[in-house]
Amino acid sequence: MPDSTITVPADLRRDLSIASVRSTIVDVPTVRRHKLSQTSVTAQSYVIVEVRLANGAVGVGEAATLGGPRWSEESVEAIKANIDAYLAPALEGLPADRFEAAGARMDAAAKRNNAAKAAVETALFDAVGKTLGLPASALLGGAVRESVPVLWTLASGDVGQEIEEAENKLAARLHDTFKVKVGALSPEADLARLRRLAGALEGRAGLIVDANQAWDETTAVRCLPVLAELGVRLIEQPLPAWNIPGMARVRARSAVPLMADECVFSAHEMLAVAQAAAADAVSLKLVKHGGLLNLRKVAAVAEAAGIGLYGGCLLESSVGAAAHLQAFAGLRELAWGCEHFGPQILTDDLVQEPLRFEDFHVHLPAGPGIGITLDQDKLRGYARR
């Protein structure tokens, strides 16, 4: 991949040096319970990172988790501790536009910790973009789209409530594809729930199913014919992340495409999934891949293998969603759209101008950096004490 350092005059380069890194844990309530196979949340927790440069520019990034270290090993408490104690000291004084060098320093300072690194790297891109008056997408090669099709996730477990929720989203022209979280109930109960959803939305909306690693191979194979019959478009991570051979066997028997999520954090893991023919699509997330640059590297491996791209989320606020959109904007192919509905599931947002959801798309925010302005009053109001 080409070097991602941008060229700026020497006097401005001195001003681009990293002066400070600040992290803040925030907890924002959700409008309803969001239920996954392994946990459920009624408030979403983030670490907001603010990087200040010597020139006074402040860049913002975000790391999201789901109910603590249940989706991956990182919790907001660990993310903040590792940023403060290890990542921030490693970057002090480095010119902020040396993105690859910053990544190398963070990798030397801490293993994994991908969400923490992603939040810091996002803040660097935001600060440099604000300094130069350029969107982060331009620093990544430029945008090929201004909006992305966006789905909504149905995850309360109450099928009546989910049908009503979906109808409201359709009527408002916000979402016409719905991802259904399964795995918390028995397979029989989940299939009955899916039958009701498919019947209620038939011909007006598409369905994706996400098991979040909850099924074994036998269960997945048993459910496949029903999912195909119901017209499900995509099945996300039905098996545990370690079972890539099992994913390949399930994919070989499935009429519905399979998507890899938790089994692909790095470009190396993406290569292994591609070599095993274990997926038709991959979910791209900053918290998994460790930043904008690594997300693009994972996407490049997937593209080379003919695997489709999908913009995944971890219920990010407008801060994290905007960062993802900057990366997605430059991908030539994004066949499966994205699921960055996170700002809409929060009772409040953390930015001055929320993202625009319209005509079943989420729109790339205008402005330099990642395109948003952090609301300091809300940051203080939702900060954990």
Please say whether the structural domain 10-138 has been given the CATH code 3.40.50.1010: no
Burial degree of 11 (CB within 10 A; 0-12, 13-18, 19+): exposed
| DSSP H or E stretch at residue 60 | strand 58-64
Q: Which whole-number Å values give the CA distances from 295 to 88, 100, 265, in the listed order?
A: 21, 13, 9
pTM above 0.85, yes or no: yes
- Work out the average pLDDT over 193-208: 97
- Looking at domain 141-376, what is its CATH homologous superfamily? Enolase-like C-terminal domain (3.20.20.120)
Q: How far is CA 212 from the centre of its chain?
A: 15
Q: In this structure, what are the phi and psi dihedrals at residue 220, rounded to the nearest 5 degrees?
A: -60, -45
Q: In this structure, are residues 309 and 287 in contact, taking their beta carbons and an 8 Å threshold?
A: no
Q: Any catalytic annotation for residue 339?
A: yes
Catalytic residue among 181, 285, 288, 297: 181
Q: Angle at which helices 114-132 and 99-109 pack, to 10 degrees? A: 160
Residue 371 has pLDDT above 70, yes or no: yes
Catalytic residue among 236, 262, 316, 339: 339
- Work out the average pLDDT over 167-190: 96
Q: Any catalytic annotation for residue 181?
A: yes
For residue range 61-117, list pLDDT tens digits in order: 999 998 888 888 999 999 999 999 999 999 999 999 999 999 999 999 999 999 999
For residue range 273-285, list pLDDT tens digits in order: 999 999 999 999 9
Residue 5 has pLDDT above 80, yes or no: no
Domain ranges, ordered by start, for the chain: 10-138, 141-376
